[in-house]
Chain A
Amino acid sequence: MLTKLHTNKGSQLVLGLATGFVFGFLLEKGGVARYDVIIGQLLLYDFTVLKIMLSAAATGMLGVYLLRGLGLAQLHPKPGSWGASAVGGLIFGLGFATLGYCPGTISAAVGQGWLDALVGGLAGIILGAGIFAALYPRLKPGILSKGEFKNRTYPELFKVNPWAVVIPAVAIIAAFLYWLESRGL
């Protein structure tokens, strides 16, 4: 692994900026810097968001697990619990539909010129994150640790070779996307 590069702070800031530039370019080209496209997904008539997310996940999965097998990458799966991931996920969902952007796509929306995203949404996200930081000491020992996941990834949970999960997962994603297209969605 490129440990020297990973610990070089200046290079990492430049790499972060460059990665974001490509990511933002792709999000804008994909149409997901637009409120109308994101709400169209949540109202289940425009599946652009899921098509992008699932094809990114399938592509990413194949490459990242291969790179890991070659010793060129390591995984960083987030810890989680029912209390954190499910409850937090549902709160996030309410915000997702009310705002019509998520933290990545709102940044792309700002780049496209959306002032509701810049003036309303960005300020709201920063405020919401700050409120969470203030409540964190009370939430952490309580609901956030309810039903903690001991195994962080499915291959660990099922105690199988990672490829026994990667290959079926990619196949299911491909089949789902094929089904969406065949329905004209």
Chain B
Amino acid sequence: MDWLTMGRWSPYAVGIGIGILSWLTFVLSDKPIGCSAAFARTSGMIERLFRGNKVLQKAYYREFPPRVDWEWMLVVGIILGSFTSAKLSGQFKLDWVPSLWAASFGPQPVTRVVVALLGGVLLGFGARWAGGCTSGHGISGTLQLAVSSWLAAICFFIGGIAAAFFIFRVLG
């Protein structure tokens, strides 16, 4: 069982594994893998704690009701699965600042966390604007040959590559 404790697998083994996993979700759950709608539902759940049931009347939450569903459990599962894999290979470690970030912008957690927060806002906003993320459009949508998903996925990388070069080659 050495393969379970390995630190890294070939990206092709991982990709083929995810492809096969998607066959199973179509057959067993009639759903493509996706992640970002779960974050919108969570946002609705939190807003409901403060503002009560009138949150349920918002147009967006009528389309994506703020409740725990298959995809929400999938996101919880990702955290647990990754934790298990990282524990098995001894790669689990609590850390604030990735080394690539630290090399350009320093080791202070506060700068990294503030930028991660800003990036997260853009990511969550953009994912719901596009109607999906790197999983829902990038993998599940492209494998269904969806017109919207191929366009969205290409734009994820155009925007991402441009911004990464700006952050690390101009600012960093």
Contacts and interface: CB of A to CB of B under 8 A. Distances in A.
Interface of A: 1-2, 5-6, 12-31, 33-36, 39-40, 42-44, 48, 51-64, 67, 72-82, 84-117, 119-134, 136-137, 139-140, 144, 149, 151-155, 157, 162, 165-166, 169, 177
B1 interface: no
A100 B116 contact: yes
A63 B82 CA distance: 25
Nearest first, the 6 closest Cβ-Cβ pairs linking A and B are A93-B159, A124-B120, A20-B77, A80-B148, A59-B19, A89-B155
Interface residues of B, number: 130
Contacts of B46: 126, 130
Contact of B130 (A12, A77, A84): A84
A2 to B, nearest CB: 7
Contact of A100 (B25, B43, B84, B98): B98
B106 interface: no
A61 to B, nearest CB: 4
A125 B146 contact: no
Given A15-B29, A88-B152, A93-B159, A23 B121 contact: no
B149 A21 contact: no
A87 B127 CA distance: 10
Interface of A is mostly: helix
B8 A31 contact: yes
A177 B16 CA distance: 13
Nearest to B133: A103
11 contacts: A14-B73, A58-B143, A61-B143, A64-B144, A85-B151, A89-B153, A92-B152, A93-B159, A94-B122, A95-B126, A131-B125
Nearest to B58: A133
A29 B144 contact: no
A103 B123 contact: yes
Interface in B153-172: 153-169
Contact of B131 (A43, A85, A128): A85
